[in-house]
Amino acid sequence: MTQTLVKKLTFEDFLDLYPDGYGFYELVNGEIVPVEATRAHKNVARYLVKSFDRENERLGLDYIVDKDIVFRTFASSGVVQGRKPDVGVVSASIWNANVTAYGALTEPIQLAVEVVSTNWEDDYVDKFDEYQRLGISEYWIVDYLAIASRSYLGNPKVPKVFVYQLIEGSYQVNSFQGDDIIISPTFPELKITVSQIITAAKLF
């Protein structure tokens, strides 16, 4: 019996083959993987995009805020990945350096937000590692449904937002819950709470 080897896609292959207009995808272990989300999940992401964008404009900051930013990362094995966070914030100077290019970046963005779904370990483990290695300055994990294990969320489990800040190459974390105002190094005057994020999901 002969075994057929399937060629893993490169990052360039991923960009060429990205099925634009048919959903959202990432490059994971050499394969194009769909990352479609529930409407509640999208409501949370949309709320954060609007909140960040308002702060960006109010303070006159040099950022692009978007839900469709794709960038290249590397797994711990060295395999190239293509990630698309639920919310991305990138320096406008980086984004506009080549406006005729497609949306994928090879530089680290300023802030990435992952809204947690059933494959929560991707956000807490794999993407955490990749984003830290790439040098993304700030990383949010928004666990609005309290899906992760008790080792992250406590016992009893409660919805939390984790904000990781890159300090000397390693992420340092602050966690927020309930009516805590989330502290963001990128948007230092932002005033939103975990409760407001949960409300934005429109689950209740």
Tens-binned pLDDT, residue by residue, of the chain (204 aa): 444 445 676 666 666 665 554 556 666 776 666 566 789 999 999 999 999 999 999 999 999 999 989 999 999 999 888 899 999 999 999 999 988 876 679 999 999 999 999 889 999 999 999 999 999 999 999 999 999 999 999 999 999 999 999 999 999 999 999 999 999 999 999 999 999 999 999 998
Using the structure block, give the residue that is written with the tokens 């230092």: 188
pLDDT recorded at residue 163: 98
pLDDT recorded at residue 30: 63
Taking domain 37-200, whether its CATH number is 3.40.50.170 is answered by: no
pLDDT recorded at residue 118: 87
- pTM score, whole prediction: 0.86
pLDDT recorded at residue 74: 93
In the chain, domain spans: 37-200
pLDDT recorded at residue 98: 86
